[in-house]
Amino acid sequence: MNELETLRNKIDEIDEKLLPLFLERMECSEKVADYKKRNNLPVLDKSREKQILDHKGSLVSPDKASFVRDFFSEIMSISRKSQRQFLACGDFDSDLYAGFDRSDLKENPTVVFQGVAGANSETALMKIFGDDTKRINTMTFAEALDALDENRADYAVLPFENSSTGSISGVFDLLESRDLYIVSEVDVPIVHCLVAPQGATLDIIQSVYSHEQGYLQCKDFFKNYPKMKFTTYHNTALAAKYVAGMGDTTLAAIADKRTANIYGLKVLAENISTNQNNVTRFAAIAKRGILNEDCNKISILFTLPNESGSLHHILSEFKNSGLNLVKIESRPRHDRNFEYMFFVDFEGNLLDPSVRQVMSAIKENIAYLKILGNYHAPKSPSERL
């Protein structure tokens, strides 16, 4: 037997001694859970946990203290998970789920989108609700959500994220400040073209109108045309409408073929996106969240307490639960300098007790939590597009 095998056998012997002690500890943990249930106490007691970890770390040399703290921190995490299962945390009378109904999307709704006919948001609207859906339009994202608040529309469809340029920050800022929920999402392929009035040619274009996102997604194309100057506009469809109305052959817009056809414009260059697989994720927003068996994705936002390891605790809850974390993004808080709001997407359904247990665990470890929605998100490429 070589030295490595000898050491491994020694570790196996130690583990065999640890196992019955661990099981005995879990039995005690369940009894603690029973006591907490009878006395209406929370699962997590942060001050006691910190005291225990500090004490355990003090019992060993400084170079071993962090390992000891990590060891007992993991054991405590497992114990909390067991206690939550015992307590069946996450009942629907919680304030966390007050904005949700056991329902589905409304039939024959009125839907608002930002832009004008031909906007990508209108395309997303039709993919979610159908081509014949009654719709109204606004000039800004905020005005679209105002239409919801004022009951002029049942849903708003807004862009959330582009595969080339990332999240649409203005929409996330609005969701942070409003009591609204995501109820559906869809991906829309974005095929940008350079469009202009009839009679225009590439060599005479001087000014290009577009939403900033459209321009950023096509920057490589415009490197070949340094004389073209970019002008920011509300969105690509509005830019196309403006250029069509001006009738000036030195003006162009970034838009797709459908928009060009609507406003009688000529396509000067086709598919000019830097990323040829350019896709934007759109979401349908409502005043109430929905809960049904088809929901498979959850979006949340939260802030963390100013404590070491806070984010680690949250990520550990996802790891221990086996939930698939799809996205995590931080954004600065507007009310506090150098503090951040985290936006997280993960797979799951709030009707699942195990998911509600995780939500309860997350709530215990953070300063503020809001569920942005539980909704159906297409998974396969064919379903998404």
pLDDT recorded at residue 19: 95
What is the SS3 string spanning 283-344? EEEECCEECCCCCCEEEEEEECCCCCCHHHHHHHHHHHHCCCEEEEEEEECCCCCCCEEEEE
- For CA atoms 142, 145, 151, 156, the dihedral sign is positive
User: What is the reported pLDDT for 72?
Assistant: 92
Mean per-residue pLDDT over the chain, rounded? 90
Quote the pLDDT of residue 90: 45
What does the pLDDT read at residue 93? 45
Are the CB atoms for 262 and 302 separated by under 8 Å?
no
What integer pLDDT is reported at residue 220 of this predicted model?
Answer: 95
Token pair 């849903």 is at which residue? 155
pLDDT, residue 94, reads 63
Query: How far lies 115's CA from each of 119, 157, 301, 314, in Å?
Result: 6, 11, 27, 38
* pLDDT tens digit sequence for 309-361: 788 878 888 887 889 999 999 888 777 776 788 999 999 999 888 888 888 88
Alpha-carbon gap, residue 201 to 196, rounded angstroms: 8
Catalytic residue among 282, 302, 343, 346: 282
Pair of tokens at residue 346: 């993960």
Question: Sign of the CA dihedral 87, 88, 93, 98?
Answer: positive
* Domains, in order of start, for the chain: 1-87 (1.20.59.10), 90-102+293-385 (3.30.70.260), 104-190+279-287 (3.40.190.10), 193-269 (3.40.190.10)
What pLDDT shows up at residue 363? 84
For the segment 40-59, what is each residue's pLDDT rounded down to a tens digit? 888 888 888 889 999 999 99
Work out the angle between the directed axes of helices 141-149 and 169-177 (0-180°, nearest 10).
Answer: 30
Distance CA 114, CA 267 (A): 23
Residue 133 falls in the annotated catalytic set: no
Residue at 335: amino acid letter = D
Q: Is the pTM of this model over 0.75?
A: yes
Task: Say what the pLDDT of residue 385 is.
Answer: 52
Q: Which residues of the chain have pLDDT under 50?
A: 90, 92-93
pLDDT of amino acid 88: 59
Residue 41: per-residue pLDDT: 83
**Token pair 């859970």: residue:** 33
Q: How far is CA 93 from the centre of its chain?
A: 25
For position 380, what pLDDT does the model report? Answer: 53
Instruction: Dump pLDDT digits (tens) for 190-220.
Output: 999 999 999 999 999 999 999 998 999 999 9
Residue 280: active-site member? yes
Annotated catalytic residue: which of 280, 302, 343, 346?
A: 280
Q: What is the DSSP-derived secondary structure letter of residue 105?
A: P
